Amino acid sequence: MSNLRDFREDFPILNQEVHGRKIIYLDSAATSQRPQQVLDAVMKYDHEANGNPHRGSHALSMRATEAFESVREKVRSFIGARSTKEIIFTKNATEAINLVAYSYALEHLKPGDQIVITIAEHHANLVTWQQVAKKTGAHLVYMYVDPEGRLPLGELQKIDQKTKLVACTHMSNVLGSIFPVDKVIQRGHEVGAKVLIDGAQAVAHMPVDVAELDCDFYVFSGHKMFSLTGVGVLYGKEEILEKMEPFLYGGDMIEYVYEEETSFNELPFKFEAGTQGIESVVSLGAAIDYLHEVTFEVIHEKEMELTEYALRRLQELPYIRIVGPKDLNLRGAVISFVVEDVHPHDVSMILDNYGVGVRAGHHCAQPLLRFMEVYTCSRASFAFFNTKEEIDALVDNLNEVRRWMGYGSK
């Protein structure tokens, strides 16, 4: 690792101060920052190729089509899908989950069926299925985590013959735990259910191969993997997508339109109604190039080094409780914690005074936090550009938080 370049230099936003202190960004799990390479790609597109893809035969429209569709191929290869027909651009992971809910689940589920999810789901992958269950009469069944935030394999027995759909996070945005999605998918398929994996917290941190996983659907957002906001991806197996009805109607998703009838475009365009966020898609392509350049090997090594260090340093503080597994092998670079007797919003506001940005609140996972009897907590999440010095600043300033709130650091 010693001869690695300083990745911080790739991120212009980190080169500034907040409240007179150098910014320390520990909130990459909420949204990641963009490297110059991604910003340059968007600027280049706007300078050279902006037009409406798929709609014109003039030079700029064709360049826009080429830019847009080349990213589809990059995404396909990035996640190991078999065909670009299986890659649908959405606004974000949330919209991708909703697409499956509306176009697949609402059409296929009926009273008495079962949807199985984990208690650790982000609201995007929980409220959606709760509402599908209400609308279809299906039962929503939860698989629960153990006190350390791991999914016991025994919980997989809840996926039974009545189960038609399973939705599971690849990595929890609160606990940091990496879930045994291969076993979840295998169990889902044993009973004939379709399985959706929420990869929002995974794709920027580990290589993902959807063909090898054999999941039916896989979703993620660009803005958690160094692209702009406004782009997400739904991967779906071609044979399933082929049979699904469109989600949104309008331009580009059609083949022929008559006064009374419409035939729909082929995959993947059938699911991409209207003009897409083309700059965002372009930025996603550049973000994938960037991740390849940095390499998952380096990302994993850096993130694990930081996570191991942060877990150790945080546990030196007697007033800190970690919410999630302490075993490095089971987790990614997201650490949620409770500061005894201090509300997380106070924690994050006081840390902000020292330039340290962490997330506070329920992290869009209220049922999980209620189940863990935590209700609200703070979260630090790391990217490969963070440093041990920044973790020291977090830990040292947590002592300041306690002092500000009138407690000693013990």
Ligand X SMILES: Cc1ncc(COP(=O)(O)O)c(C=O)c1O
| Residue 187 beta carbon to ligand X: minimum distance, rounded to whole angstroms | 20
For residue 316, the minimal CB distance to ligand X (Å) is 28
Tell me which stretch binds ligand X (CB under 6 A): 59-67, 90-98, 254-262, 268-276. Answer: 90-98
Lay out the site mask for ligand X across 165-184 (x = CB under 6 A, - = otherwise).
Answer: ----x---x-----------
Q: Closest by alpha carbon to 115, among 104, 130, 100? A: 130
Is position 94 an interface residue for ligand X (rule: CB under 6 A)?
yes
Angle at alpha carbon of residue 233, lines to 228 and 234, rounded to 5°: 165
Q: Taking CB under 6 A as the rule, does residue 281 contact ligand X?
A: no
Does position 72 bind ligand X by CB under 6 A?
no
Stretch that binds ligand X, among 32-40, 159-167, 194-202, 254-262 (CB under 6 A): 194-202
Q: What is the DSSP string of 337-382?
A: EEETTS-HHHHHHHHHHTTEE-EEE-TT-HHHHHHTT--SEEEEE-
Q: Catalytic amino acids?
A: 364
Q: Centre a 10 Å sphere on the Cβ of residue 350 and count the other Cβ atoms it contains.
A: 20
3-class secondary structure, 134: helix
Question: Using the rule CB under 6 A, is 93 a contact of ligand X?
Answer: yes
CB of 82 to ligand X, least distance (A): 24
Q: Is position 136 an interface residue for ligand X (rule: CB under 6 A)?
A: no
Q: Does 92 bind ligand X (CB under 6 A)?
A: yes
Candidates 8-16, 72-80, 92-100, 261-269: pick the segment binding ligand X (CB under 6 A): 92-100
Stretch in the footprint of ligand X (CB under 6 A) among 88-96, 108-116, 182-190, 274-282: 88-96
Long-range contacts, stretch 12-19, CB < 8 angstroms, 24+ apart: 12/36, 12/39, 14/385, 17/355, 18/352, 18/355, 18/357, 19/352, 19/353, 19/354, 19/355
Nearest-angstrom CA–CA distance, 228 and 214: 28
- Site size with ligand X, rule: CB under 6 A: 14
Angle at 398 between CA 392 and CA 399, to 5 degrees: 100
Task: Choose one: 43-51, 91-99, 154-162, 286-294; the region binding ligand X (CB under 6 A).
Answer: 91-99
Closest by CA position to 232, among listed 180, 193, 277, 202: 277
Grouping H, G, I as helix, E, B as strand and the rest as coil, residue 177 is strand
Q: Which of 32, 65, 103, 125 binds ligand X (CB under 6 A)?
A: 125
Lookup result for tokens 């600027």: 43
Q: How far is the CB of 92 from ligand X (least distance, A)?
A: 3
Residue 374 binding ligand X, by CB under 6 A: no
User: Using CA atoms, how far apart are residues 165 and 194, in angstroms rounded to an integer?
Assistant: 5
Q: Is 201 in the site for ligand X (CB under 6 A)?
A: yes
Q: Does residue 65 belong to the site contacting ligand X (CB under 6 A)? A: no
Alpha-carbon distance values, 267 to 132, 141, 285 (Å): 25, 32, 20
- Residue 198 binds ligand X, judged by CB under 6 A: yes
Q: Give the bridge partners for 114, in sequence order.
A: 139, 163
Say how many Å lie between the first and final Cα of the chain, rounded. 36
- Restricting to residues 218-247, name those near ligand X by CB under 6 A: 221, 223
State yes or no: residue 118 binds ligand X (CB under 6 A): no
Site residues (CB under 6 A) for ligand X?
92-94, 122, 124-125, 169, 173, 198, 200-201, 221, 223, 364
